[in-house]
A and B are shown apart, each in its own frame.
Chain A
Amino acid sequence: MSTVKSILFKDPASTESTRSILRVLILLTIAAAAVASRLFSVIRFESIIHEFDPWFNFRASKYLVKHGFFDFWNWFDDRTWYPLGRVTGGTLYPGLMVTSGAIWHALRMISLPVDIRNICVLLAPGFSGLTAFATYLFTKEMKDSGAGLLAAAFMGIAPGYISRSVAGSYDNEAIAIFLLMFTFYLWIKAAKLGSAMWGGLCALFYFYMVSAWGGYVFITNLIPLHVLVLILMGRYSGRIYVAYSSWYALGTLASMQVPFVGFLPVKTSEHMAALGIFGLIQLVAFVDYLRGQVPSKQFNTLLRALVILVTIVAFTGLVTLTVTGVIAPWSGRFYSLWDTGYAKIHIPIIASVSEHQPTAWPSFFFDLNMLIWLFPAGVYLCFRQLTDEHVFIIVYSVMASYFAGVMVRLMLTLTPIVCVAAAITVSSIFDTYLEIDSPQESDDDSESKKPKKEKVKETGGFLSSKAPYIGIYSITSKVAVVGAFSVYLILFVLHCTWVTSNAYSSPSVVLASRMPDGSQHIIDDFREAYYWLRKNTPYDSKIMSWWDYGYQIGGMADRTTLVDNNTWNNTHIATVGKAMASSEEVSYDILRKHEVDYVLVIFGGLLGYSGDDINKFLWMVRIAEGVWPQEVQERKFFTHRGEYKVDHEATDTMKNSLMYKMSYYKFPSLFPPGQAQDRVRGARLPSEGPVLHTLDEAFTSENWIVRIYKVKDLDQFGRDHFSVSAFEGGKKKKGKKGGMAGRAAGKRGRRVARI
């Protein structure tokens, strides 16, 4: 808040130079605030990589600094997607890792050997400071530097952006939002000046963006859309031609250097709009040139007709090419952008990701607070001035609003424009109400050219009220409005800080809970289990788990996984889903064929951790059903009343599934007979726990969140495991020794296998 205040209360006698010094100071303060508020997670927990995807990025960064750039480029990873492996170097966006690798090398060069982990953890906060700066530059192009500073402050602390950039959230978005804003700034600059250099710089940053985040497609489509709208509005100019042509020609060529992108820019529908507009603008430029030679009024209409005609022809051509298969059709994620129900029906793997769900409306208020209602006002103000760059804001806000409504994740692309538009609004309000003199003209003109000076004199406005003005020029209205907005701004800062510290700073690798006396209790089951894997299993053992945990196992336990969060092979994931959803006879076969040594499940029933595998189980079933509709059927997992139950009403298919058995194995023995209670689903479990024949419990973490099972070796006498356990069960009663018997049983199982 202090930053915003300092914009308002500046020395009235400030000259241009002191003002620019102040501006720099304010920007630095904003950057510091942006970085500081993202450090909650380090203070509350520790300097640790968060969540899922960051673990892969972290692992890739470690690989990069260890083996060098070229090895990283050609990296074939045989420790994931067993037995397929993954061409990691060619299937990732290397921008993030290369950035942190470069920082690492740069720091070493100046004799500051910093651990790569700390660089990775602090990369996102660092870049958020830069994002604030880029937002300042962007907004400055739209209105003035006052609005720019406000926008930078909003951007620095808006929870919608913080949610993806707290310390430790080492994901592509960490640098991508900065690149997004900076690319847009360069684009606006290029379009304003009509300079090929700015266009070329824009292309270079676009290249950086392409190498860093799949969301670059947003830029690829937004800039052409901006140009198209300008052309259709009859606002074509040579500047637009220069800016767009140089951006597209360089940017597209540059984007194809990234191996993961490859030939996509000339082959897929997502990129065709940019290509089409590129062709169109050549035509328009040519026609415009001709018009310069033959001035006539009819030409304008002719031009517009031509534009519309070409658009239609290009669109038809695109559709034809797509249908005939020359151009790859839209990818599934893009279909799900237009039809929110599409993914659920056709591609469960996409629908199963929580961040691909449609956004619930409270999250707009949660993530953007007061900005969300200032946002339309800012867009309206853009309509009033409507220069070329304001058209950009309008186009951006329309597109981003739609996409943010469709996918939770795309809230991230909406946040910058909301900050910019809200800053324009607030700045206009302050411009209007902080004027000391009431102007002679109507209040439209009071949005004057030198807002800085008027803002500055606010204190004077309070005190030196000589003439009683009415309407918005009266002191009362000025004080009321300015006061109200100051309060809003303070509340906004409070809200942002609260949200950041409470909602977005959890690493989700380490869970926090409150003890009855209010002190914090850290639940560290994940790392406990992964560390157990790292220390107690052979280096080349294969761990099967649901794909969510693939990156974490690879990063923390350093063991080979079958599937991970890079969901490139649906069938392989479905295989794991089938193994989890089938009965032991079927599953054991799959496990043997994939040489699985250990199976890992997440179980929250004891603690009440709701993100566990039983809750995700239906997605496993659905994904498996998509590939083997005959063998796995979702219907069979529901009771006859259509409920998803885990208690005694659960269906036989459910009770026999490997996932159910692994989750509840020996669970009832923790409780007095008949009292077993699943705290997540609020279900009372049958007192007889499931029996496992083909797996041995190897490890269960302190709070039972992670359970690891060892797959039994083939029986030495050639019997199947059911007859073995029947035989052993009949011959000698193995006493159950309560909950801790699991570990003993695990060791026993291995010993048997070794003999």
Chain B
Amino acid sequence: MARKARATTPEPSAVRPSTPNTTVDAAPKATPKTSTTTTTTSSSSSTSTVNLSANSSPFAVAGAIWDKYQKDTPQRTKLIDVFLGFLVAVGALQFIYCVVAGNYPFNAFLAGFAATVGQFVLTASLRIQTNPANKAEFSSVSPERAFADFVFGSLTLHFFCVNFIN
């Protein structure tokens, strides 16, 4: 499948939590130093390595998040994130095409766009469900069950897409 082949290609910059990433790439090293230590320190009880105060600059926060992401996220979840980024890219591409070149076979556009959006949310659901941090929330959904749900949802989604795309 072409999609699978291309899934490996996108740049790291397409990864989801990376919107401020490009500007920050150089910053994370500097963040611990620049973070001003003011009185209202938040209760940072987590394992985050970076000490952030409430007044940290947005760049610092983003850099810290990026660092933590790189460090704490399991490899599988990162794979999911790459796929998510790919879907965002494809969706954005379709949308730009629709805006630039017109939406003439509207159902085809909708089907294609809905396929990416639907796949995105289903994958994001899978990511949320399998995240160990959310274990308490999803007491009845084991990771295997989550994957089965994901397959079921994707099959349904693509069935409707194929039907709709004409």
Contacts and interface: CB of A to CB of B under 8 A. Distances in A.
Interface of A: 193-197, 199-200, 203-204, 237-239, 241-242, 245-246, 248-250, 252-254, 256-257, 263, 266, 282, 285-286, 289-290, 292-298
A454 to B, nearest CB: 28
B38 interface: no
B121 A245 contact: yes
Contact of A295 (B45, B126, B131, B156): B45
28 contacts: A195-B140, A196-B126, A197-B149, A203-B156, A237-B137, A238-B129, A238-B131, A242-B125, A248-B121, A249-B121, A250-B156, A253-B111, A253-B114, A253-B157, A254-B160, A256-B110, A256-B164, A257-B164, A282-B121, A290-B65, A293-B48, A293-B64, A293-B68, A293-B69, A294-B48, A295-B44, A295-B48, A297-B43
A194 B141 contact: yes
A237 B137 CA distance: 8
B145 A285 contact: no
10 nearest CB pairs, A to B? A296-B42, A245-B121, A249-B118, A196-B149, A242-B125, A197-B149, A238-B128, A253-B114, A200-B153, A293-B65
B114 A290 contact: no
Contacts of B106: 263
A189 to B, nearest CB: 10
Given A194-B138, A245-B121, A294-B52, A200 B149 contact: yes
A297 B42 contact: yes
Contacts of B111: 253
A197 B152 contact: yes
A204 B152 CA distance: 12
B122 A193 contact: no
Interface of B: 16-17, 42-46, 48, 52, 54, 61, 64-65, 68-69, 106-107, 110-111, 114, 117-118, 121-122, 124-126, 128-129, 131, 133-134, 137-138, 140-141, 145-146, 148-150, 152-153, 156-157, 160-161, 163-164
Contact of A246 (B44, B122, B140, B148): B122
Contacts of A292: 133
Nearest to B127: A289
Contacts of B129: 194, 196, 238, 242
Nearest to A207: B160
A197 B129 CA distance: 12
Identify the interface centre among B17, B54, B149: most chain A CB within 10 Å of its CB: B149
Contacts of A196: 122, 125-126, 129, 146, 149-150, 152-153
A279 to B, nearest CB: 10
Contacts of A241: 124-125, 128
Contacts of A242: 125, 128-129
Contacts of A263: 106-107, 110
A456 B48 CA distance: 55
Contacts of B152: 196-197, 200
A197 B138 CA distance: 13
Nearest to B53: A296
A256 B111 CA distance: 10
B156 A204 contact: yes
B39 to A, nearest CB: 14
A294 B124 CA distance: 20
Contacts of A295: 42-46, 48
Contacts of A254: 156, 160
Identify the interface centre among B42, B117, B125, B131: most chain A CB within 10 Å of its CB: B125
Contacts of B145: 195
A295 to B, nearest CB: 5
Contacts of A286: 16-17
A197 B156 CA distance: 10
A246 B118 CA distance: 7
Contacts of A248: 121
Contacts of B156: 200, 203-204, 250, 254
Contact of A252 (B45, B61, B114, B134): B114
Say what secondary structure dominates the interface of chain A: helix
A203 B153 CA distance: 10
Contacts of B16: 286
A204 B156 CA distance: 9
A297 B42 CA distance: 7
Contacts of B128: 238, 241-242, 285
A249 B17 contact: no
Contacts of A203: 156
Contacts of A194: 129, 137-138, 141
B81 to A, nearest CB: 11
A249 B137 contact: no
Contacts of B64: 293-294
A263 B108 CA distance: 12
A286 B131 CA distance: 14
A28 B61 CA distance: 60
A77 B43 CA distance: 70
Contact of A296 (B54, B125, B134, B149): B54
B163 to A, nearest CB: 6
A253 B65 contact: no
A99 B137 CA distance: 38
A294 B125 contact: no
A239 B118 contact: no
B54 A238 contact: no
A512 B122 CA distance: 57
A195 B17 contact: no
Contacts of B44: 294-296
A253 B16 CA distance: 24
Contacts of A257: 160, 163-164
Nearest to B73: A293
Contact of A253 (B45, B131, B134, B161): B161
B70 to A, nearest CB: 11
B114 A249 contact: yes
Contacts of B117: 249
Given A197-B149, A200-B149, A296-B42, A253 B52 contact: no
A478 to B, nearest CB: 38
Contacts of A204: 156
A248 to B, nearest CB: 8
A197 B125 CA distance: 11
Identify the interface centre among A252, A254, A290, A294: most chain B CB within 10 Å of its CB: A294
Nearest to A263: B106
A286 B118 CA distance: 16
Nearest to B106: A263
Identify the interface centre among A200, A204, A266, A290: most chain B CB within 10 Å of its CB: A200
Nearest to B40: A298
A287 to B, nearest CB: 11
A241 B121 CA distance: 9
Contacts of B68: 293
